[in-house]
Structure 1
Amino acid sequence: MERAQEQLELARERNEFARIRTDLANKRTFLAWCRTGLAVMGVGVLLEKLRLGFGVAGEAAAGLGVMGVVSLLAGPACIGFAAWRYRVLNRRVGGSEDGLFFVPEMVVLASVLAFVFLGLS
């Protein structure tokens, strides 16, 4: 009987470690999506600066402008999707309820957006 109790305790411990690993993987994935969103926004800023800085005219300017705006909008969308995905998976696996985990990333996103849009206007 004692052996069965030990095996049950060991199984519970393994399950807890698996849950912790899954929670940490979810956080790493969220941060990877945030980096991707910031990189996409950086490409948008680069395209806008190229269009405005080099005085590109005609169809090339229109193309750069459209790609720049799409990139500037896709970056925050990517980060918003990452936050949504993190919350959904966190609830599904019973992860830690640290609702403030992604607040720093959202503050960075807001400040980057402010700098980008102030710099482009």
Structure 2
Amino acid sequence: MDIHPIKTDADYRKTLHEIETLMTAEPGSEAGDRLDVLVTLVEAYERKHYPLDWPDAVEAIKFRMEQQGLTVDDLVPAIGRKNRVYEVLARKRPLTIRMIQALNRQFHIPAESLLNQ
């Protein structure tokens, strides 16, 4: 198996192209093993060169509201009175630990996003 590290963007694009050709490889076969190794290399390269940041807390809340059709009233049990919900959504009031825990538990918003204020 002749595999090299991904050092440049050209290496990255070439490896992605090779991965596309191997997508139908049987697991455990030589081609399947090659696919596993190449995917691991690409993941490492992407983590270093194209890191994904968690969305900020307000964007995460708004996204979940849109996804689930939630209203401000639905957030009241997790955040507090209606005016407090509006303050949080307008970025005038930060989330407390209690709010973060409740939003995570009730609406399954990742805590990493909720901590990103």
More helix by share: 1
**TM norm. shorter chain > 0.5:** no
Which structure is higher in RCO with an 8 Å CA cutoff and minimum separation 6?
1
